[in-house]
Amino acid sequence: MNKNNNKIISRNNIRAKLSPNLLQFCADVISVSLSYMLLYYIRFISGWFETAPYIEISQVILTGSVFVVYWLMILGLAGMYKNWYIRSPFDELYTVFKVAFFGSFFLIFIIFLDEGQIDTRGLFMIFLAVFGVVVSTGRYIARKTHTALRKRGLYVIPAMIVGSPLKVRELHSSIIKATNWGYKTVSVSLKCDSSKQYEEEKKYYENMGVECLLMSDSLEKTMDDLRPSEVLISLESDDHGILLDVVSKCAERNIGVKIIPDLYDYFTGRVRTLHLYGIPLIEVNTQLLKTWQEALKKVLDVVFSALVLILGSPVWLLLAIIVKLDSPGPVFYKQERVGKNGRLFMMFKYRSMKQDAEKGGPRWTSVNDTRVTKFGKFLRSSHLDEVPQFLNVLIGEMSLVGPRPERPVFVDKFSEMIPYYKRRLVVRPGITGWWQVKYTTYVESKEEIENRLKDDFFYIENMSLKLDIEIIVRTVFLVLKGHGQT
């Protein structure tokens, strides 16, 4: 195992240095710089357009630097720095020209405001053509370069295959033949019908230097030891329970997942189909929002939270004074919660319970809970006890909208009850969420947890700014109605 680990670590180090993202970025820096020089020549030297009598070299360098940074930001927000294994060359070409169109339109608009009389239509077409062709060419060269690196074995993607023996063998054989993809099978996890079948398969794979395990063995330990970058799943159509379990384990470890498409009906996730060695696979996409949407959601979180805390500060100060006068204990209650990807953080609230509320151990709040203080009932019914969580949003530990942040003890407990429970941790928890605006009970039961998960998964798989705004509006109405649990 140690020998294998050293090999995998070495491959992962090489992979980090020669990643597609890095090559894409380097190609774009060169291509955008080259396109700027070509556009500068056309605009100021070719004589096609009127020019200023003299432009200082410092101004040219400054403008060029801004030009390069501008386009790299636009390309990044358009999601162009993702692995191209799930994007065809045609899709990449189409996206580059789409980005070039909108980006050039904005630049030409600025030039028109500055220079007025210039032929902006002709300049726009030149901008679009030059930038699109040069950047597309650079990305094509980067793609071909990386294909050559994979063929030479300089870029390796450690992969683990999970499934039934026959399907796993087929996929493993395809990986061996297609060196241009860069996959290297480091482990297989099989669902065998008998111990005899497993022994035969184990002997076959061990002769090839591949670790072979039964699916009933610890998948988590294998993933942690070998650290595969991808898990390829090839199961029978009725094994959706196993599928959900494997996918949830991969999500916790940020491991990419591809599955055979006959399982599509049994997995509720955002996926896209691609062909690998002629075999159609489904890519489980871990990016739930586009890059620009994610950035806009973060801006919305910060701006909205800052406005709430600043504009409402006199009210929040008054609430703090009343909490202090109402019962002995601190004004704020802080508690460890589980955030995105299992990271722990301290969540803040106005204290709404007695100081020794959990002397008997952690438990959920119940209807008419005797631990709640007099003023705490008002805080909880109005949800005002959660106002300090806007600090968590500003820090970046929470979002305005997302699944409810849960305590570590309950996350562990519910994960044992429901194997795929931790999938809700792929996004930042929220002050409010789809479940929070729909709930009717606080009863701690498996049925209630599953119902909450349905709402959490609905939000995760349908994340959008539109949905976030809808949830925020619904929350405002619920606050006004006094919807909270007392």
Domain boundaries, the chain: 19-151, 157-284, 291-481
Q: Using CA of residue 153, residue 154, residue 160, residue 163, what is the dihedral sign?
A: negative
Of 140-144, 355-359, 402-406, highest mean pLDDT: 402-406
- Positive or negative, the CA dihedral 470, 471, 477, 480 is negative
**Percent of residues, the chain, with pLDDT higher than 90:** 15
CA dihedral 134, 140, 141, 142 (to 10 degrees): 110
Task: Report which listed range, 115-124, 350-359, 388-397, is most confident.
Answer: 388-397
Give which of 245, 232, 246 is closest to 274, Cα–Cα: 232
Average pLDDT estimate for 451-470: 84
Q: Count other C-beta atoms under 10 Å from residue 274's C-beta.
A: 15
Q: What is the average pLDDT across 111-122? A: 58
Residue 156: Cβ within 10 Å count: 21
Tens digits of residue pLDDT in 291-332? 777 888 999 999 999 999 999 999 999 999 999 888 888 899
Query: How far is residue 336's CA from residue 315's CA, in Å, rounded to a whole number?
Result: 26
Query: pLDDT by residue (tens digit) across 56-80?
Result: 788 788 888 988 999 998 888 787 8
pTM of the model: 0.60
- The Cα-based distances of 385 to 40, 226, 362, 389 in angstroms read 58, 45, 19, 9
- pLDDT above 70 covers what percent of the chain? 77
Q: CATH homologous superfamily for 157-284?
A: Nitrogenase molybdenum iron protein domain (3.40.50.1980)
C-beta of residue 4 within 8 angstroms of C-beta of residue 186: yes
How far is Cα 319 from Cα 143, in angstroms, rounded to an integer? 59
Report residue 26 as tokens.
């380097």
DSSP 212-242: EEETTS-HHHHHHHH--SEEEEE--TT-HHH
pLDDT in tens, 413-458: 888 888 778 878 888 999 998 888 876 555 566 777 878 888 888 8
- Residue the block writes with tokens 């009863």: 443
